[in-house]
Structure 1
Amino acid sequence: MSSKKYDENFKKKIVQLYLEGRVATELGKEYKVSPTAIYSWIKLYADETAVSLKEFTNIQKENTRLKQEVEILKQAMAIMTTK
């Protein structure tokens, strides 16, 4: 079993592909890297502020709700200032 050394740019590229939605096993086959190594690189290089798909969906829903509230308040303010 040989130990391969991969440079940091290569590791970051693989992590970026994973974060874009590629599957670790597919990446492993394509780039001849073990999925275990890919998962360890993800822990090292994945941005800690990266948001999961579920969190992103929740943020989008909250943003839509807040925009609706702002529009309601704008309309109420227009009604209140005309009287």
Structure 2
Amino acid sequence: MNQQKRSRRTFSADFKSQMVKLYLQGKSRSDLVKEYDLTPSALDRWIYQSSQSGSFKSKDNRTPEQNELIALRKELKQLRMENDILKQAALIMARKSKS
């Protein structure tokens, strides 16, 4: 079985919403996957996202812990940058005081 890797496709929120609606109206998951050439995991993700937040955007479906982790990483990056600037300033000041 030689399967070719399929290219990544993008779908509009309207299309995803329509697929979820068809599923909720009783159309089987396997029928939707075959008929619209979808991956089962994509359809499952859309159904899950729709049931959780009603949105298909990743940022709308993050847990509070995921949001906190992203914010902490951003803050850590900022603090490291500020620390590097202060180190450089300290070196410059040390050189000036020696002369």
Normalising by the smaller structure, the TM-score range is 0.5 to 0.7
Q: Match of 2:20? A: 15
Structure 2 unaligned segments of length 5 or more: list them.
54-99
- Higher RCO (Cα < 8 Å, 6 or more apart): 1
> How many aligned positions are there?
48
Equivalent residue letter for 1:33: L
Which of 24, 33, 40 is the equivalent residue of 2:38?
A: 33
CA displacement at 1:35 relative to structure 2: 1.5
Structure 1 length as normaliser, TM-score? 0.53
Q: Match of 2:84? A: none
Pair 1:46-2:51 in alignment: yes
Alpha-carbon RMSD across the aligned residues, in angstroms, is 1.6
Identity in percent: 33
CA deviation digits over 1:20-50, x for unaligned, max 9?
11111110111111121101000111377xx
CA deviation digits over 1:45-65, x for unaligned, max 9?
1377xxxxxxxxxxxxxxxxx
Structure 1 unaligned segments of length 5 or more: list them.
49-83
Whichever of the two has the greater Rg, that structure is: 2
